[in-house]
Amino acid sequence: MKDAPPRDTAAISGLIDADIHPRNPQRHDLAPHASAYWAEMFEYRSIDRLEMMSQPQSIGLNQHAEGAQANATPQDIARLHLDPQGISAGILNVMSGAHAAYDPYLAAALCEATNRWLAADWLGQDSRLHAAALVPFVNPDAAVQEINRLAPDRRFVSVLTPLMGEKPLGRREYWPIYRAMTEHGFALAIHPGSIYRHAPTQSGFLSYRVEEAALAPQAFASQLASLVAEGVFTEFPDLRVVLLDSGLSWLPALMWRMTKDWKGIRLEVPWIKEAPSDIITRHVRMGTQAADLPQDADQIARVLGQFDAANMLIHASDFPRPHATGAGVPDWLPQPLHAAVARDTARATFVRLEGLE
């Protein structure tokens, strides 16, 4: 924002970045980590380019100034991002076509191979790097198996899902996934992107990417409403949800409306025993990039005062997108929130990040 005061991030140690995107893995990356069957099928069926239509890496809109080289290897990310920003822990979020497979077994194979590739080629190369696990939401049994397999490897700190999937995230079909996650301390990360099982809006598919980006908050709001209404947080009180690249100023409107409605229609969902705004405050965290805010610092402070910003915001750069946050925490962030946003809230949320300096 234009009128914000200059940053002073030098004082913050232990900066954590909750949203870094490595390149998407392709067939040659995944085949060594897949079964003989899937390794052959990846080749035989051209399962290679795993790029989501809604979250492409190859288009100019999303490319770093250094192009595909910005996030091709751990060394690239270290050189362009971790080192200059003094990041002590970064979480890799793979927004690849693995999320979009229809075949439940292919989905499981792609997710597992991607996680193995992350462990071998990324996490092993730079101790600052951590990752979100990919699990097949279209195959909850396999998702649970994959979470249990990864549980001993604490470099995997979260489970990642695209914003718009097959069903609202609160549905009971997904509860075995959340049960396994909470048993092992994984947070749930939700990142924009749709696998287009459904139109992104109540009036169908949109003409432009800008429209889909502008309307992403309604999908985030619906997912939070689903998680609250279905009772996911009632059933899994330890689950934490991190919204990435979500914007943040839309959240209070959802909290206020859902709380007002709840007072009269809680009979529909009597397992919700406290105000939805309190449930959301306790369980939901938001990345700082990108924020939709007014121009001047006083107005920004008023927006941040509408929710528990000190405990709900997490630094998340969205590197290597061109709109990624520059140095350290964003410049609109008031100084008193810096330490919480840069480090403390992330540590409390990604509980598998223990043992950091």
Question: Where in 173-212 is the site for another protein (CB under 8 A)?
Answer: 194, 197-211
344: Cα separation from own chain's centroid: 18
CB 174 within 8 A of CB 137: yes
Closer by beta carbon to another protein, 45 or else 197: 197
Q: Which stretch binds another protein (CB under 8 A): 118-126, 176-184, 279-287, 301-309?
A: 301-309
Name the minimum Å distance from CB 174 to another protein. Answer: 11
What strand order describes the sheet that includes 187-194? 15-20, 87-92, 129-134, 156-164, 187-194, 241-243, 284-287, 313-314
CA atoms of 182 and 7, how far apart (whole Å): 36
Write the single-letter amino acid at 288.
T
Name the minimum Å distance from CB 179 to another protein. Answer: 13
Closest CA to 245 of 206, 219, 270: 219
CA atoms of 307 and 168, how far apart (whole Å): 24
Closest CA to 12 of 344, 254, 355: 344
Name the minimum Å distance from CB 351 to another protein. Answer: 24
Question: Would you count residue 223 as binding another protein (CB under 8 A)?
Answer: yes
Question: Would you count residue 262 as binding another protein (CB under 8 A)?
Answer: yes
Q: Tell which one of 40, 305, 326, 354 touches another protein (CB under 8 A).
A: 305
CA atoms of 50 and 58, how far apart (whole Å): 11
Name the minimum Å distance from CB 247 to another protein. Answer: 6
The residues in 114-153 that bind another protein, with binding defined as CB under 8 A, are: none
Q: Which stretch binds another protein (CB under 8 A): 11-19, 42-50, 81-89, 162-170?
A: 162-170
Question: Would you count residue 217 as binding another protein (CB under 8 A)?
Answer: yes
Q: Which stretch binds another protein (CB under 8 A): 33-41, 143-151, 262-270, 331-339?
A: 262-270
CB 151 within 8 A of CB 157: no
Closer by beta carbon to another protein, 22 or else 165: 165
Question: Would you count residue 75 as binding another protein (CB under 8 A)?
Answer: no
The residues in 24-63 that bind another protein, with binding defined as CB under 8 A, are: 61
Name the minimum Å distance from CB 339 to another protein. Answer: 26
Closer by beta carbon to another protein, 98 or else 291: 291
Closer by beta carbon to another protein, 130 or else 321: 321
The residues in 306-345 that bind another protein, with binding defined as CB under 8 A, are: 306, 322-323
Q: Give the H/E segment covering residue 146.
A: helix 140-150
Write the single-letter amino acid at 122.
W
Closer by beta carbon to another protein, 11 or else 214: 214
CA atoms of 354 and 357, how far apart (whole Å): 9
Name the minimum Å distance from CB 245 to another protein. Answer: 11
Closest CA to 318 of 90, 15, 60: 90
Q: Which stretch binds another protein (CB under 8 A): 3-11, 19-27, 117-125, 158-166?
A: 158-166
Q: How many residues does the chain have?
A: 357
Closer by beta carbon to another protein, 42 or else 307: 307
Closer by beta carbon to another protein, 154 or else 266: 266
CA atoms of 133 and 147, how far apart (whole Å): 8
Name the minimum Å distance from CB 21 to another protein. Answer: 16
Q: Tell which one of 4, 78, 151, 229 touches another protein (CB under 8 A).
A: 229
CA atoms of 107 and 112, how far apart (whole Å): 9
CB 111 within 8 A of CB 98: yes
CB 147 within 8 A of CB 175: no
Rounded alpha-carbon distances, angstroms, from residue 112 to 54, 99, 254, 259: 22, 11, 35, 39
Closer by beta carbon to another protein, 58 or else 75: 58
